[in-house]
Amino acid sequence: MDTEGPVTDNSDPTLLESWKKVDVALGKIFSPGIRNLIRDDSGKSFKMSWFFLDWVGFRTNPVKRKLGYHKIRDHYTKTWSAQIKQFSDGMYWHYHHPPKDGVGNHWETDWLWSNQHEDIMNHLIIDRKFYPTIFRAGGTIENNDASLWLENHIPFDFSNRAPFKNPFLDWSRAPKKWGVYHPSRTDYQKIGNMKRAIARSLDLSGREYTIPEEEVEAAFSQAMQTGNAIFSVFSHDYRDISSQIEHFSLILRDMRKKYPQVKFVNATAQDAINRNLYPTKNIPKIDLKIQKGTKGLTIRLLSAKHMFLRAPYVALKSKNKEYSRVKVARMEDNTWVVDHHALRNGEKIGVAVCDTRANFAVRVLTL
Ligand SMILES: [Zn+2]
């Protein structure tokens, strides 16, 4: 779910325009009645993957978004945290790159003109002790600049919308198989040797669209022939999608009858990719320690063997509440240092690392 909060758009009266209305729709998705429409082979109800967005970096707000850091995510953690836990949902990151004209509902394809993505990461790390390890691109707009940044920061990406293409986004050359691929450095749509993995997800529904049955069947057929498939659909929290989930559950029910040999598992975005890429190998939990000394801040990992990042991501919050990213120097295999010249008393420093399975650890310290 691209989790964006309420929106007021006169051209589409079906969109939910207040938190009150969004919460009524969410109440259905967070009810056992809807969740149990799709149970897997072991009886577990379906899981939601919430990709939270921060509306920041925009100068105007024509459709009345809830602007500001953490506004959307905090609404969910305040209102729905018990249900998110109850259903073992995933909490991830959705990001809209701000447009150069600053207009709140315009798209932007130039990833390099603004560093807003890292600014939001800095806030998430320091304020919420959260590091995003699974990503969905705003409008599913991706290009090689974004892909290279993601390669250095975020292991899993659920943005492949193949074969969709319009003037802003292009997934026309990307794999149409229901699973993951490691992209090429020179073309994010081609299979290559990047570490990061991209999974496919298609629109559950729009104003005049529902997921075609052929796509659901393609996933089952692929699972039967190759041994696995990850099937995923996406929507937005400013729509009431309960009736579309009901409709989709009937398509799924028929397909499971048609393909009884296919084992069906409900999973979060993270679980689905891990089951696909690493079906048997477990790795140790991240052991991250940070310590302030006279030379600066020392960052230690017990083992960096399965780390996804090349170096820990370090964010700083100054006394006058400015957020920035800080460079780290590698000292030994598992040790990094932030030089004391970069640090001042009273500042907050946040250190984040993540592993290849999209687990993360964050430590925050006041200097
Ligand atoms: Zn979006």
Q: What percent of the chain has pLDDT over 70?
A: 99
Given a contact cutoff of 8 angstroms between Cβ atoms, the answer to whether 294 and 339 are in contact is no
SS3 96: coil
The answer to whether residue 180 sits within a structural domain is yes
**If you average pLDDT over residues 23-36, what whole number do you get?**
97
Residue 65 sits in a domain whose CATH number is 3.20.20
Among 256, 277, 298, the domain boundary falls at 277
Q: Which of 277, 308, 339 lies at the terminal end of a domain, its last residue?
A: 277
CA–CA dist 224, 342 (Å, integer): 55
Q: Rounded CA gap, 278 and 305, in Å?
A: 15
d(CA 133, ligand 1 centre) in Å: 17
Output 54 or 12, whichever has higher pLDDT: 54
- How far is ligand 1, taken at its centre, from the CA of residue 114, in Å? 18
CA 367/CA 280 separation, integer angstroms = 41
Amino acid at 167: P
In one-letter notation, the amino acid at residue 151 is E
Tokens 């899993």 belong to residue: 156
pLDDT of amino acid 208:
59
**pLDDT for position 207:** 61
Same-domain pairing of 199 and 342: no
CA of residue 97 to ligand 1 center, whole Å: 10
pLDDT at 295: 87
Angstrom distances, CA of residue 117 to CA of 69, 91, 137, 149, 266: 12, 17, 11, 10, 30
Ligand 1 centroid to Cα of residue 32, in Å, is 27
* C-alpha separations of 44 from 28, 77, 250, 265 in Å: 17, 23, 17, 8
Does 10 reside within a domain?
A: yes
User: If you measure from the C-alpha of residue 157 to the centroid of ligand 1, how many angstroms do you get, rounded to a whole number?
Assistant: 14
Ligand 1 centroid from CA 169, angstroms: 13
Ligand 1: distance of its center to the CA of 203 in Å? Answer: 12
**75 alpha carbon to ligand 1 midpoint, in Å?**
17
Give me ligand 1 centre to Cα 159, in Å.
11
| pLDDT tens digits along 125-158 | 999 999 999 999 999 999 999 999 999 999 999 9
How remote is the CA of residue 2 from the centroid of ligand 1, in Å?
6
193, 172 in Cβ contact below 8 A?
no
Mean pLDDT of the chain: 95
- Taking the C-alpha atoms of residue 70 and residue 77, their distance in angstroms, rounded to an integer, is 10
Mean pLDDT value across residues 190-194: 98
Contact 237, 4 (CB under 8 A): yes
- C-alpha 118 to ligand 1 mean position (Å): 17
Confirm if 131 and 354 have CB atoms less than 8 A apart: yes
Beta strand spans in 4-76 (E): 49-52
Q: How far is the CA of 58 from the centre of ligand 1 (A)?
A: 14
In a domain, 282, yes or no: no
- Could you tell me the pLDDT band of residue 205, with boundaries at 50, 70 and 90? confident
Q: How close is the Cα of 34 to the center of ligand 1, in Å?
A: 24
109 and 8 within one domain? yes
For residue 283, tell me if it sits in a domain.
no
Assign residue 314 the CATH number of its domain: 2.60.40
> Which tokens go with 298?
């020392």
Final residue before a domain boundary, out of 258, 277, 296: 277
Q: Note whether 254 and 292 are same-domain residues.
A: no
Q: Is 131:362 a contact under the CB 8 Å cutoff?
A: yes
Please indicate, yes or no, whether residues 311 and 254 belong to a single structural domain of this protein. Answer: no
- The verdict on 238 and 219 lying in the same domain is yes
For residue 11, what pLDDT band results from cuts at 50, 70 and 90? confident
Q: Residue 10 — pLDDT band, cuts 50, 70, 90?
A: confident
Q: Percentage of residues in the chain with pLDDT exceeding 90?
A: 90
The model's pLDDT over 236-258, given as tens digits with 9 standing for 90+, comes to 999 999 999 999 999 999 999 99
Distance of CA 235 from the midpoint of ligand 1 (Å): 9
Rounded to an integer, the average pLDDT of 66-77 is 97
| Cα–ligand 1 centroid distance for 95 (angstroms) | 7
DSSP string, 218-286: HHHHHHHHHS-----EE-BTTS--HHHHHHHHHHHHHHHHH-TTS------HHHHHHHHH-SS---PPP
Residues 237 and 292 in one domain: no
The model's confidence at residue 341, banded by pLDDT at 50, 70 and 90, is confident
Same domain, 269 and 346: no
Judge if 295 and 271 occupy the same domain.
no
Q: Examine the domain organization and report whether 247 and 340 are in the same domain.
A: no
User: Are 238 and 91 members of one domain?
Assistant: yes
Instruction: Calculate helix-pair angle for 71-79, 19-29, nearest 10 degrees.
Output: 50
182 in a structural domain: yes
Ligand 1 center from residue 253 Cα (angstroms): 29
> Is 30 a member of any domain?
yes
Choose among 342, 256, 252, 254: nearest CA to 297: 342
Mean pLDDT of 14-28: 97
Which domain covers residue 359, as residue numbers? 288-366
Whether residues 235 and 266 fall in one domain: yes
In a domain, 202, yes or no: yes
Is residue 293 predicted with pLDDT exceeding 70?
A: yes
User: How confident is the model at residue 346, as a pLDDT?
Assistant: 85
- The Å distance, Cα 131 to ligand 1 centre, comes to 19
- What was the pLDDT predicted at 159? 98
Sheet with strand 323-326: strands edge to edge: 323-326, 313-317, 348-354, 360-366
Predicted confidence at residue 206, as pLDDT, reads 65
Total domain count, the chain: 2
Q: Does any domain span residue 155?
A: yes
Residue 59 and residue 202 in one domain: yes
186-208: average pLDDT: 92
Q: Give the separation between CA 93 and CA 75, rounded to whole angstroms.
A: 15
